[in-house]
Structures are given as C-alpha cells and as structure tokens.
Structure 1
Amino acid sequence: MAEKTDTGRRAPLSRDRVLAAAVALADDIGIEALSMRKLAQELGVVPMALYKHVANKEQLLNGMVDVVVGGIDPPAPGADWKSAVRQRILSARRALLAHSWAAQVIQSRTSPTPVVLAYMDSVIGMFRTGGFSVDLTHHVMHALGSRMLGFAQELFDATPGPAPDASTTTPPEATGLYPYVTELAAAVAHEGDSVVGGGCDDQFEFEFALDLLLDGFERLRRQGWTSGR
C-alpha cells in the first residue's frame, strides 16, 4: 500500500511538469537563482533526468516563457478590434505581472518562441480583420513594441528600496537648471513601488498610453493612412 501511495503522489516527469515547476521556482527564488540543479532538487530527480525534456537552460527559459504567454486569455469573441486588442494586451499584462521575471526573460530571447509567435499572429490578425492595411499594421506593431505583451521599457528603471522625497534628492541648484523636471517631480506624492516614477500608478500609466495608441491607430485607419508618399 505504501508503494502505491508514493507512486500516486509523485507524477511522472514530463516536459509540462518540468516547466510548471520551473515557473513556480522562479516565482519563489527569482530567475537569477534558478538553475537546473535546483530545479532537479525541487522535482526530486537527478539533474540528468531534466535533459530528457529540456536540452539546456536556454530551452528551459523558452519553455517557461511559453507557459506564461500561454496563460493569456484568448481573444474575446465578437468584440470590435479595439476592444479585442485592449482586452488581449491587458490580459498579457496580468499574466506577466503574476511572474515578475517573465518580461526580463522575454527581452533576453534572440527570437520569439512558438507560443509568443502565435500570440503575435493573433494580435496582428485582430488589426488585419479590423480593417487595417498590411502597411499600417506593420507600423502599429512597431509602435506597440513590448506593450503588445503587457510591459513597457521605461526610460529609467526605478531603484529598489523606498522612494526618496524629491525635495531631498533634487539639489537646490537643479530648480533653476531643470525647472520643469523639478516641477513635475514635486507635483505628486512619491511612492516606492512604481517603475514609471514616484507617485505614479503603473497600471493607470500603462492603460493611458495604450488607449492613446489605440485611438491614434483608429484615426489613421479611418484616414486610409499609408507610409508611402
């Protein structure tokens, strides 16, 4: 009976199980600390057993990206192109925010994984079936950039730790040299957990920029815009 219980408790090792465990472990210890050895320990197997399912660390990371992106909600049926794209991108943002390491790993890939390609194809298809020309869609995808997957690369990354007060970090002489930076920095209450700046609501700023882009895309579509002269 004991043997049956142990066998039932331990699921057979598979690629899906390896990737699911890797995602959970990265969530727990961080992507930098993730290693094949630690993953094998987590699964209760020898490291060599992993290589039957992922050839190396890069393949493991690719698979982890596919797990995360595969969790993005499917397109909303019957929605207009703008609502469908918005819903899909915000779902992508939720998926990536649930795994803080995912954006970093996606950016480190030299080419998109199959699941990322399928997601891109879906988003492109929303624009094309929504009446966008190939030319306009091409430039739309450039404009969206990483926002298509729910994250944006900010000009300056926030430093870890509590956010300093603008009044203590901005030298007095800066007020005269950079009056508009100083004005803007002092205009909001500063908080430490925003990547876009102290006092900023990341989700609001993301949706604000996304909606501006979508509205602009629609205006160009109606105008029949083309990049040719």
Structure 2
Amino acid sequence: MAEQAETLRRTPLSRDRIMRAAVALADATGLESLSMRNLAQNLGVVPMALYKHVANKDELLDGMIDVVVGEIDPLVPDAGWKQAVRARILSARQVLLRHPWAPLAIESRNMATPAALAYLNSMVGTFRAGGFSADLAHHVMHAMGSRILGFSQELFDASRNAGRTGPTDPAPPAPLPPEVAARFPHLAEIATAASHDDASVVGQGCDDQFEFEFALDLLLDGIERLQQQGWTSFSAPARRAPDSH
C-alpha cells in the first residue's frame, strides 16, 4: 500500500489526472465534500500544485463533467435515428448511475461544457440526418430536456429524494397517510397501481429504470409520428400568448 502511494506521488501531475481523481473522489464522498484541499491530499500534492493545471473549482467541475460525458457510448453506426438516440440516452443514464453527483453538477453550470456541447450537437445531428427539420429538432430537444443526458427529476420522488438530482435507487413508494389518501383519492389510486407484481420484469416497487424507459419511449414514439407527418411549429395550433401581468 505504501509503495502504491509513493508511486502515485511520483506520477507527473496533469490536468487529465486531476480531473479523473476528482471524479473518483466525488464518486466516493459526494460532490458536496469535494474541495481543492481534499483533492490535493488524495493526489499527494500541495493544493497550489493543482492551480498550475486548474484555475478554480468551477473549472474543475467543468472538467469533471467532460470526463463523465466522455464515458457515454458513441452513436450506433448505420442505425436509424430512433434506435441510435434511444441507445445513447440509455448509455448516458448508465454513466450517471455510476456518477450520481453528475446531474447536480451539470445543472449547476451556466453554460454547457465542451464535451456536453459536442454530445448535444451530435444528438441534434442524428435527428437532422434522420430527416428532421431544424424546427422540429429544436422542439424535440426542448421536449427531451435533461432526459437527453440520461436523467430526469421524478415527480413522485420529490419528497423521498429532497435535495437530490438524477437517477436514484429503486424503492417501494411509501403509502399515503389515510387522511391524505381520502383528500386526494386519485393520487392514492395511482400510488398503489405503481407497485408491480412479482411476475413483472421490473420487480416490485416503482422501478426508476422502467419509468425512465417508459417515458423515453413515449417521447420517441410521439416524435417519430410528428416527423412522419412533416410537423412544423408553424402548422401547430396557435396558442394565446401568456398575460404580461
């Protein structure tokens, strides 16, 4: 163990090594505990050594996000747009399950990182190559939202996972208290309906992966129908502009 630590200290410090060490530290202890001091300690260097490669923590987070996005599988060659998009989004989800801090980091940035921009650009390119107009591709990206990067904020997980973002471990939904169920009977009804039976391929409870894929397939099926119909925002029913006050 001492020999490994000594080898680590002798390994030349680089930006890539710093970023990968930061990802590993965030994986182990969470994003909130990540600091330049802790990272330097893990790398066996003084904090000032990091600043020769990384200007500040914001730049560190950007680099960490790029490392994570770089783990997403490339587009499937010679596949239709629907298959290619679905496979890549599910790959992104698996990556974020390995790095549960990443969705919060992604959402915290004012601008997408270079790797994230390249990923989003390639996804738009897939839609365009699949025959989508720029107009439809624009609205599709809005509809997909964070799901295009493999995560979403789950409505029914809001109270269970307060303060957390991204994929979460599946857990059976807690039953609503009787007085709440009586006041909101429709919510109570679907809360119990969400429990899959023993024969279900997704098992008992409200399975996060199942729900993610269910919503993703709903979106992709609807998007495919719009694309086949030659839909444009100009042909959509006019909507009244919201009141300005």
User: Would you call these one fold, judging by a TM-score over 0.5?
Assistant: yes
| 1:187/1:108 CA distance change after superposition, 3 Å | same
Q: Deviations over 1:51-83 (max 9, x none)?
A: 011100000000000000011011011101100
Tell me the residue number matched to 2:160: 159
2:120 counterpart of 1:120: yes
The aligned amino acid for 1:207 is E
- Provide the rounded CA distance (Å) in 1 between the counterparts of 2:173 and 2:114: 42
Measure how far apart 1:93 and its partner are: 0.6
| 1:225/1:34 CA distance change after superposition, 3 Å | same
The aligned amino acid for 2:182 is G
Structure 1 residues 74-113: aligned runs within 5 Å: 74-113=74-113
Q: TM-score, normalised by structure 2?
A: 0.82
Tell me the residue number matched to 1:131: 131
Tell me the residue number matched to 1:186: 192
Q: Percent identity?
A: 63
C-alpha contact 2:172 2:195 (8 A) present in aligned 1: no
- Provide the rounded CA distance (Å) in 2 between the counterparts of 1:40 and 1:206: 37
Unaligned stretches of 5+ residues in structure 1: 191-197
- Provide the rounded CA distance (Å) in 1 between the counterparts of 2:119 and 2:38: 30
C-alpha contact 2:8 2:44 (8 A) present in aligned 1: no
C-alpha contact 1:170 1:182 (8 A) present in aligned 2: no
Measure how far apart 1:182 and its partner are: 1.2
1:170 to 158, 177, 187: 177
The aligned amino acid for 1:170 is P
- Provide the rounded CA distance (Å) in 1 between the counterparts of 2:72 and 2:174: 37
| 1:101/1:76 CA distance change after superposition, 3 Å | same
C-alpha contact 1:69 1:116 (8 A) present in aligned 2: yes
Q: TM-score, normalised by structure 1?
A: 0.88
C-alpha contact 1:23 1:64 (8 A) present in aligned 2: yes
CA RMSD of the aligned region, Å?
A: 2.3
C-alpha contact 1:90 1:150 (8 A) present in aligned 2: yes
* Residues matched between the structures, number: 216
Tell me the residue number matched to 1:216: 222
